[in-house]
Amino acid sequence: MIIVMKVGSPEAEINRICEECQEKDLTPEKIVGRHKVVIGLVGDTASMDPLQLQEISPWIESVMRVEQPFKRASRAFRHGQPSEVVVNTPNGAVTFGENHPVVVVAGPCSVENEDMIVKTAKAVQASGAKFLRGGAYKPRTSPYSFQGHGESALGLLAAAREASGLGIITEVMDTADVEKVAEVADVLQVGARNMQNFPLLKKVGSQDKPVLLKRGMSGTIEEWLMAAEYILAAGNPNVILCERGIRTFDRRYTRNTLDLSVVPVLRSLTHLPIMIDPSHGTGKSEYVPAMAKGALAVGTDSLMIEVHPNPSKAWSDGAQSLNPAEFDELMGDLSLIGQPLGRWETTPVAVG
């Protein structure tokens, strides 16, 4: 932590600040510049709040953090090694990680009925997906929109799991539902709107299933990693980070702005595996294939793609869903890019 003093700060005040820092078990080191004095603080400062330190004196101009505030999520925590999130599915163990083939998650926005979810699961499995996504509990902007079938949809997801062999990823929104959802899901999803729902993060952190943590619409990378830190600190080491588009000034042609640069940035900051969701990221199915290909080339470890057997009849998010044929074609295109990059499963899968 670095304290920058205002021009003309009295020496007595600077000394007083140094003393106050010593009381907090920090060792202050003064640098007297041409115009300003700065004080470097040596010690355990990672969990200190710079804004708080600033309150020590009105002569403090600013306090700058040198240490990153996240620890368990940091790349350094694993000495530079990427972590692997291994998930057991009926079809076998699937690994999310930097040194593994890209894992594709596909399925509808919401679980509508048994027929559609089983049909979708089989179709996306045939095209090479390893996980089925599908919402039982749906966060909807309007209280008058379809809110998901809730608990009864969990049973339908279990049926689709059995029919297809795919792992299940589904969202949990309320601490009260975590146990129930964890009984069926292979991976629990925390949605963008709940990235900083701290009670929920603590709760999913204290159970065993891996957690998919979506980035909030205006979540900074640092806040996102701190949200992951909540889960890690609660004891769950299996966190996957999913970018799904951020909110910017231009929302006319895309619903969000998919920030693919998080891939190299996260790679340098954290050991956690990365997923990209181009469906929410753009909000329009016609833009999904291009952005999925871009995500693969940028280096993502996983992709989440919305697929619906009949997008125009979907109960939610139809506009951003591919149909199974479009998804199959996309998987073929992805393999063209993924193979030379060494990130595509080479075992033959049934691609149309």
* Sole binder of its own copies in the list 163, 319, 349, 351 (CB under 8 A): 319
Query: Which residues, 22 to 81, sit near its own copies by CB under 8 A?
Result: 29, 31-36, 38, 40, 42-44, 46-47, 49, 51-52, 54-57, 64, 66-67, 69, 76
Structure tokens at 88: 């057991």
Q: How far is the CB of 289 from its own copies (least distance, A)?
A: 8
| Cβ distance to its own copies smaller for residue 118 or 295 | 295
Q: Which of residues 100-129 bind its own copies (CB under 8 A)?
A: none
Indicate which single residue of 13, 223, 326, 329 sits in contact with its own copies (rule: CB under 8 A): 223
Minimum distance, C-beta of residue 271 to its own copies, in the bound complex (Å): 14
Q: How far is the CB of 131 from its own copies (least distance, A)?
A: 23
Establish if 325 lies at the interface with its own copies (CB under 8 A): no
* Window of 82-90, 143-151, 161-169, 236-244 that interacts with its own copies by CB under 8 A: 143-151
- Of the candidates 221, 237, 326, 349, which one interacts with its own copies according to CB under 8 A? 221
Distance from C-alpha of 211 to C-alpha of 62, rounded to nearest angstrom: 37
Give residues 237-296 in contact with its own copies (rule: CB under 8 A).
246-255, 257-261, 263-265, 268-269, 281-283, 286-287, 290-291, 293-296
User: CB of 297 within 8 A of CB of 341?
Assistant: yes
Q: Please, what is the minimum distance in Å from the beta carbon of residue 140 to its own copies?
A: 7
Measured from the CB of residue 167, what is the shortest distance to its own copies in angstroms? 25
The residue (of 89 and 287) whose beta carbon lies closer to its own copies is 287
Using alpha carbons, list the distances in angstroms from residue 347 to 69, 164, 251: 41, 18, 40
Pick the closer one to its own copies by CB: 56 or 349. Answer: 56
Residue from 15, 81, 99, 218 in contact with its own copies (CB under 8 A): 218
Of 59 and 159, CB closest to its own copies: 59
Interacting span for its own copies (CB under 8 A) from 83-91, 123-131, 235-243, 337-345: 337-345
Q: In the bound complex, what is the minimum distance in angstroms from residue 161's beta carbon to its own copies?
A: 25
Contact positions with its own copies (CB under 8 A) in 164-193: 173-176, 193
Tokens of 38: 């700065």
Q: Residue 33 or residue 92: which is nearer to its own copies going by CB? A: 33
Among 178, 179, 180, 154, residue whose Cα is nearest residue 168: 154
Q: Which of 91, 95, 147, 207 binds its own copies (CB under 8 A)?
A: 147
Closest distance between its own copies and the C-beta of residue 288, in Å? 9
Size of the site for its own copies (CB under 8 A): 107
Could you write out the three-class secondary structure of the chain?
Answer: CEEEECCCCCHHHHHHHHHHHHHCCCEEEEEECCCCEEEEEECCCCCCCHHHHHCCCCCEEEEECCCCCCCCCEHHHHCCCCCCEEEEECCEEEEECCCCCCEEEEECCECCCHHHHHHHHHHHHHHCCCEEECECCCCCCCCCCCCCCCHHHHHHHHHHHHHHCCEEEEECCCHHHHHHHHHHCCEEEECHHHCCCHHHHHHHHCCCCCEEEECCCCCCHHHHHHHHHHHHHCCCCCEEEEECCECCCCCCCCCCECCCCHHHHHHHHECCCEEECHHHHHCCHHHHHHHHHHHHHHCCCEEEEEECCCHHHCCCCHHHCECHHHHHHHHHHHHHHHCCCCCCCCCCCCCC
